[in-house]
Amino acid sequence: MRYQEDGAFEMRFKKIIASLLFISILFSQTWEIINPSFDTPGEHLLRNIEFVDQNTGWAFQYHPSAARIYKTTNGGYNWEVVMDTTHLLFIDIDFTDDGYGWICGHTSSSNEPFILRTIDYGNTWGLINNAPRVYALFFDTDLHGFASGDSIYETFDGGNSWIGRHVTPYSAGYIYDMFFLDDSHAWAVCTGPFLHSGSIIFSSNSGLTWEYLVNQSYESSSIFFKDSLNGLRVGGGGYSPGHIGITSDGGSNWNYNIFNSVSFRDIYFINDNLGWVVGHGGNLWVSDSSWNIWTQIDLGITENLYSIQFVENNTVGFISGANNTLLKYEVEASVTDNQSIPNKFAFNQNYPNPFNPTTTIQYELPQRSDVQITIYDLLGRKVTTLVSKIQEAGFKSVTWNATNDHGKPVSAGVYLYQIRVCDPDGVGTGKFVQTKKMVLLK
């Protein structure tokens, strides 16, 4: 499900930021391949991911013999299983910032639809009865949301009950992905072996009714619009070649870039000009400002990639895929107006302090550095690592949500947080080291 902030809607999923005040972004096009650690052995298919900030996220395994839901609290480096079952096929996941989450899918044996819900940041999950058959979820509040599948559905009570919205004509096939531009305009793509496979449907009244714009076109898996006229759709595989479609009339007509032997799965833009598409075989392509020229990024991997998402005002991105594949992207900011590069290292007191349950730590790097930020208890035992990477010079921040490396909440008390900065080439054991105290209340 795709969504852009405008009007009365609260932006949560797929934010589109046109500019950042006082900052020009240096886009290095570099994705870090993370080797995630799991608390269960074997290979893990991270089919879909959902992060609410740079640290906290969820993913699920798409396999009938290992239907697992995972959670990370340190940016994807460590994952724990919060639900482990069988005979369920998970399809999509969505979370609100308040820790409410939903997963939809169907049983592998009887093909019965289901929706799971959590109200405690994914630590426990319950089954919603009489769920419709849906393949994509979007919630803009803890109570209100949309789902798409054999039709479009809307809920006002957190998913306990759903209202079917009118789609003309009704036989849409699978409505696979939706994108809300504002509080009025929305689009969706249809897929599957049906009469209207590859169609685009559109709503101009906040999702109450939907009508067809395009009938029987290429079968797409993801859609995006930057305004009411200009949009993109991507897909491929099955009945359609790999494609990136461009429209300038609101979705009625499309021009296509065709990519043979490529199957695209997801699309994400961090502003009107810069975006990526991901697909099978390790395919990652980045756009130019015109959307007409796409350049492939060599990741050095061949695993299928399934989803891409950005958080933290589109400065931190994640890509998930098969065989434990997880990639992370961080936009480094260079300051051009009222700010400058710091002239010395600094490690500030966390804020708020005392705190419950989250706090932010700010620090300053006058030059490119290898940074480690670690939380310890008063006995000197490591609780979790918040930062462990090379960073460019600038003003930085990181958030801690009072959990350990395994995603478990820690007890109230006094904790130590330490920064250790080294040269990025590994020379030296620590040119800047500082430790401070923080207080967690419960």
Partners of 284 in beta bridges: 278
Q: Which residue has the higher pLDDT, 354 or 6?
A: 354
Which pLDDT belongs to residue 406? 83
Which pLDDT belongs to residue 412? 93
Q: What is the DSSP string of 133-172?
A: -EEEEEESSSS-EEEEESSEEEESSTTSS-EEEEEESS--
Domain boundaries, the chain: 2-334, 340-440
* H or E element at residue 67: strand 67-72
**What number does CATH give the domain 340-440?**
2.60.40.2550
Which pLDDT belongs to residue 340? 62
Residues 138-192 have pLDDT tens digits of 999 999 999 999 889 999 999 999 999 988 765 546 888 999 998 899 999 987 6
Which pLDDT belongs to residue 323? 82
Candidate ranges 213-217, 339-343, 358-362, 410-414; pick with highest mean pLDDT? 410-414
Over the chain, what is the mean pLDDT? Answer: 83
Cross-sheet strand order for the sheet of 134-139: 2-3, 174-180, 186-191, 200-203, 209-214, 163-168, 152-155, 145-149, 134-139
Domain 2-334 coded CATH 3.40.50.12500: no
Within a 10 A sphere around the Cβ of 43, how many other Cβ atoms?
12
Instruction: Determine the average pLDDT of the residues in 264-281.
Output: 90
| pLDDT value at 439 more than 60 | yes
Residues 13-58 have pLDDT tens digits of 333 333 333 333 334 447 888 878 776 655 556 778 999 988 899 9
Cα gap 80→147, rounded to integer Å? 27
What is the pTM (predicted TM-score) of this model? 0.72
Q: Which residue has the higher pLDDT, 131 or 290?
A: 131
Helix (H, G, I), strand (E, B) or coil at 280: helix
Least confident span in 258-272, 293-307, 327-341: 327-341
Q: Which residue has the higher pLDDT, 384 or 426?
A: 384
Residues 307-349 have pLDDT tens digits of 999 998 888 899 998 888 899 988 755 443 344 688 889 999 9
| pLDDT value at 408 more than 90 | no
Which pLDDT belongs to residue 384? 94
Instruction: Determine the average pLDDT of the residues in 181-205.
Output: 82
Work out the pLDDT band at 3, boundaries 50, 70, 90. Answer: very low
Q: What percent of the chain has pLDDT over 90?
A: 45
Of 149, 216, 226, 121, whose CA–CA distance to 181 is shortest?
Answer: 226
Cα gap 115→174, rounded to integer Å? 17
Task: Say if CB 370 and CB 404 are below 8 A apart.
Answer: no
